[in-house]
């Protein structure tokens, strides 16, 4: 069994032979500006300006005061969707080297700015939530348009960029709860997420739901949408219950307590113990890919070294 087959078996909980190493076993590709390249402080292809944090690591955020959409009822005249047919996908694939070793190396794409995230990237977070409540019809129309665009984007990734797994990103949670009620999620977003998962599967690709924060109240819905797994399964969630309920047919990626580990006092042994703990917890049924966000580059080698202990089941 090669690394590609092992990853696919892990993500689909189908008797993998080892715990995959995200740094060495597959290409983990994050689509900056959704796909393509973007500087630290730059525009994406929707015209949204992004600014990187000046005082720490992390993803760029939409620049305050430079919102693209200020009136949700005028979104059809204001929001300009990228022309996906005009993109030279073959050039990007060649530049990124994603079509090399296709028989043995899997391409795992994390694509940000999902159907909820894109609305608040365009409007600002506060105004997007206000629009959801005050102009629900216009807001839903925009979400529907974004859904159609995302489905076409993912089809392009599969057809031209060799995607074996696509993680659709929509962060629905803070560290203590969801941004919106489960009822609103199920009415507005769940049916469209199901269409996205179905479209990815129709192309023979694995569909993963990426949703940060405390979203354990929505994981049943992710499963019902048809997603094969969930990332990054942050530790603020009731992970034990979720693995017990879904772990035999639904995979988990992430799970490391990055907030606790990213402090000056962290030692190599702390990293090893956390990996061991999460593999025991989230890898009970074989469907677990550790994913780590560590500020000390030397700790990535520690993770790879520790994972070698879990090569053969």
Per-residue pLDDT tens digits for 141-175: 999 999 999 999 999 999 999 999 999 999 999 99
Per-residue pLDDT tens digits for 78-94: 999 999 999 999 999 99
Pairing of strands 229-231, 61-62: unpaired
CA atoms within 13 A on the CB side of 165: 32
Alpha-carbon gap, residue 184 to 180, rounded angstroms: 6
Give me the phi and psi of 139, to 5 degrees please. Answer: -65, -45
| Mean of pLDDT values over 284-292 | 92
pLDDT at 313 over 80: no
Would you state the structure tokens that stand for residue 120, as one six-digit string?
């608040």
279 alpha-carbon distance from chain centroid: 20
pLDDT at 241 over 60: yes
- Reported pTM: 0.94
pLDDT at 53 over 90: no
pLDDT at 33 over 80: no
Confidence of residue 52 (pLDDT cuts 50, 70, 90): confident
What pLDDT was estimated at residue 36? 54
Contacts of 203 (CB under 8 A, 6+ apart): 154, 155, 158, 159
Specify the higher pLDDT residue, 198 or 313: 198
Q: What is the mean pLDDT of the chain?
A: 93
What pLDDT was estimated at residue 263? 84
46 close to 122: Cβ distance less than 8 angstroms: yes
pLDDT at 308 over 90: no
User: What three-state secondary structure class fits 34?
Assistant: coil
pLDDT at 217 over 80: yes
User: What three-state secondary structure class fits 289?
Assistant: strand
Cβ burial, residue 210 (10 Å; 0-12/13-18/19+) = buried
Alpha-carbon gap, residue 51 to 40, rounded angstroms: 7
Instruction: Kindly report which listed range (19-28, 263-272, 293-302) carries the lowest average pLDDT score.
Output: 293-302
On whether the 23-260 domain is CATH 3.20.20.210, my answer is yes
What pLDDT was estimated at residue 108? 97
| Mean of pLDDT values over 191-207 | 99
Neighbours of 6 (CB within 10 A): 20
Q: List the Cα angle 60/63/65 in 5-degree steps.
A: 165
Instruction: Kindly report which listed range (7-11, 49-53, 214-218, 235-239) carries the lowest average pLDDT score.
Output: 49-53
What pLDDT was estimated at residue 309? 85
Confidence of residue 41 (pLDDT cuts 50, 70, 90): confident
What pLDDT was estimated at residue 39? 64
Instruction: Kindly report which listed range (27-36, 71-80, 123-132, 149-158) carries the lowest average pLDDT score.
Output: 27-36
| Gyration radius from the chain CA atoms | 19
Neighbours of 132 (CB within 10 A): 23
Pairing of strands 206-210, 229-231: parallel
């Amino acid at each position: 069994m090669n690394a590609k087959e092992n990853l696919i078996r892990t993500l689909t909980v189908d008797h993998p032979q080892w715990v995959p190493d995200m740094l060495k076993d597959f290409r983990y590709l994050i689509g900056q500006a959704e796909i393509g390249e973007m500087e630290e402080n730059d525009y994406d292809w929707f015209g949204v300006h992004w600014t990187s944090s000046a005082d720490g690591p992390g993803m760029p955020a939409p620049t305050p005061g430079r919102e693209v959409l200020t009136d949700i009822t005028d979104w059809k005249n204001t929001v300009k969707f990228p022309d996906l047919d005009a993109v030279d996908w073959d050039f990007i694939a060649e530049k990124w080297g994603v079509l090399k070793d296709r028989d043995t190396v899997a391409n795992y794409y994390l694509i940000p700015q999902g159907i909820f995230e894109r609305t608040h990237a365009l409007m600002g977070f506060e105004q997007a939530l206000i629009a959801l409540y005050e102009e629900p019809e216009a807001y839903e129309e925009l979400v529907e348009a974004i859904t159609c665009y995302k489905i076409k984007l993912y089809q392009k990734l599969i057809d031209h960029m060799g995607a074996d797994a696509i993680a659709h990103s929509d962060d629905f949670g803070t560290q203590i709860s969801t941004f919106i009620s489960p009822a609103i999620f199920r009415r507005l977003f769940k049916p469209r997420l199901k269409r996205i998962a179905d479209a990815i599967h129709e192309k023979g690709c694995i569909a993963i739901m990426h949703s940060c924060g405390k979203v354990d109240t929505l994981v049943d819905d992710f499963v019902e949408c048809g997603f094969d797994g969930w990332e990054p399964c942050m530790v603020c969630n009731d992970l034990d219950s979720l693995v017990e309920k879904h772990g035999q047919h639904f995979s988990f990626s992430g799970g490391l307590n990055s907030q606790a580990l990213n402090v000056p006092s962290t030692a190599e042994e702390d990293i090893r113990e956390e990996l061991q703990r999460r593999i025991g917890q989230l890898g009970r049924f074989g469907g677990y890919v550790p994913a780590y966000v560590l500020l000390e580059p030397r700790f990535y080698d520690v993770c790879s070294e520790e994972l070698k202990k879990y090569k053969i089941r």
